[in-house]
Amino acid sequence: MQANVLCPKVSVIMPCYNNGAFVRQAVDSVLQQDYPNIELIVVDDGSKDNSLEVLASYGDRIRVIVQPNQGPAAARNNGIRHATGDYIAFLDSDDLWLPGKLSAQLEFLQTNPDFIACFCSWSVWDGNDPASFNQPSPEQRLELQPERTGWLYLPLLQSSVIHTISIVIKKQIVDTVGFFNEELRVGEDHDYWLRLSRIGKIAKLKTVYALYRANLQSTTNKVHAKNFSLLVLQTAVEKYGFCSPDGNCLTEDLYQQYLAERHFMYGYQSFWAGHRDKAKQSFIGCLKNKNFIIKSIIYLCICMSDFGYKHVIKFKK
């Protein structure tokens, strides 16, 4: 591949917070991509470990921006402000890209200009040798997953089908969508993809090109003060309605089911984490949306009883 005209620059934005143990592997997976025109911007989000020492060892091969701890959304936004590429991609500092990711996605986007972004399949990763993941044949590199390709507003109302580490977006589209919502402690990526899906078509490559490190301490595994997943869904529907730009629409019944799913998941997590009041309100929300009725009634009855709740939690432990 020739640079410049045929290989426009890709700005890769990597938030880093206390990931000194993993960030080298993440950075190397970007620098070892066979795509020749990459700008890697690592935004250190107030790390207190040796992350900055590891990053300094790369010299001018990467660009490091340091900010006080503000969360991944703020870190990504800071990276976007400093990006000079024609495309934007994201990788978290404890995750990994497999070889050929950027070259496949850029080839697709350059030969399919009616798509504004391209994401790939990804797998949960236990940190072992990534070479165990099979590399695609030349015929498979650009094979699409049809049900996740096109106008994705409706699939995204159901769930966040796009993983942050998997996507490449045209910079001009990023400028239109704007920044990640820093008020969302989790779900800021889902909110972003919903906004993105209102602008144009998005493609998904079948091949696994990104690895998400299994981490039980991850922010997404914690019970937060608010049900952010529910808020993202409600905000999108309030702003954009039930219909996708291509004319397909979500039914009211299905919307109520999506609401109930988010209530139940937050309630379930809260229940087992010892947040009894949060769980109680969430299971009541399920009943209001007329879904998960039997399960919600069972959990709600347990929440209503001091003895029952303490006994179940103790038994679980």
pLDDT for residue 218: 52
Q: pLDDT-derived band of residue 315, with 50, 70 and 90 as boundaries? A: low
Q: Which residues of 102-141 are buried (b: 16+ CB within 10 A; e: fewer)?
A: bbbbbbbbeeeeebbbbbbebeebeeeeeeeeeebeeeeb
The reply to whether the predicted model has a pTM over 0.85 is yes
Q: What tens digit of pLDDT does each residue of 114-156 get?
A: 999 999 999 999 888 888 787 888 889 999 999 999 999 999 9
Contact 163, 125 (CB under 8 A): no
pLDDT for residue 86: 98
Q: Locate the domains of the chain by residue range.
A: 10-220, 251-316
As a whole number of angstroms, the distance between CA 177 and CA 200 comes to: 11
Residues 6+ apart with CB under 8 A from 91: 12, 13, 14, 26, 29, 30, 97, 165, 210
Decide if domain 10-220 falls under CATH 3.90.550.10: yes
Q: pLDDT-derived band of residue 216, with 50, 70 and 90 as boundaries? A: low
Q: What tens digit of pLDDT does each residue of 153-168 get?
A: 999 999 999 999 999 9
Average pLDDT, rounded, for the chain: 93
